[in-house]
Amino acid sequence: MDRRVKKTKTAIFEAYIQAKKSHRGVEPSVKEICAIADINKTTFYRYYTDVEKLLYAVMNFAIDKLLIDGIKIEYLLTEPETYFRHVLKNYKEHEEDVSALLADKPQTFIFEAERILKSKLKETIVDKYDEDLCTFIAGGAAHYFLSADYSDEEKLKKFCRIIKAATSAI
C-alpha cells in the first residue's frame, strides 16, 4: 500500500475512534470525521462509501490487531491459555479505543470477530480440524474475549479446558 494512502487511512481510522470517544451512542458524521482527520469529503469517499463501511474497516483492523497479530492463530486450539493471555495484553494496550468501538454495536463486533477468527483458523489448520469445530471455537473465543473477566483465573482455565477437550475429541 502506498505510504500516502496508509497515512490517510490511519488518519481516518483515528478520527473515527476519536469521534466515537467524544460522543458515545451516536455515529459520527462524514463531515466530523473529515474535520478531525483534516481531509476533505472527496478524500473520505475515495476510500469509503459511508460511515458504516468505515466502521467495518475499523472493526476488522482492531480485531486483527487484538486477536491475530503477534501470535499463531493455531494457539487458540493448541495453547488457548497462551492465546488468551496474548489477547488480554493487546486489549489492555488499546482498551479505550476498543471500548469506543464496542459501545454501540457489541454484537456486530462479536460477529465480525467470529467471522475473522473462523476464516483464519480454516486457512491455517484445514487438514486437522473440521469447519464445525472452527465455527464453535471461533464463536466461543469471540464471545469469551468480549465478556470474560480476565482477572478470574479459574474462569480462564475452565474455558481453556473446554477448548482443549473439544479439539482433542476430533
Matching residue, cell 460522543: 23
CA angle, residues 136, 137, 143, in degrees to nearest 5: 90
What local confidence, expressed as pLDDT, does residue 7 receive? 94
What local confidence, expressed as pLDDT, does residue 115 receive? 87
Which ranges constitute the DSSP H helices of the chain? 3-22, 30-37, 41-47, 51-63, 75-78, 80-93, 95-102, 106-124, 131-147, 153-168
**What does the alpha-carbon distance between residue 107 and residue 78 come to, in Å, rounded to a whole number?**
27
**What does the alpha-carbon distance between residue 109 and residue 120 come to, in Å, rounded to a whole number?**
16
The mean pLDDT values, 10 residues at a time, for the chain of 170 residues are 90 94 86 96 96 92 88 87 88 85 80 86 71 79 72 82 80
Cβ burial, residue 43 (10 Å; 0-12/13-18/19+):
middle
What local confidence, expressed as pLDDT, does residue 66 receive? 86
The model's pTM is 0.82
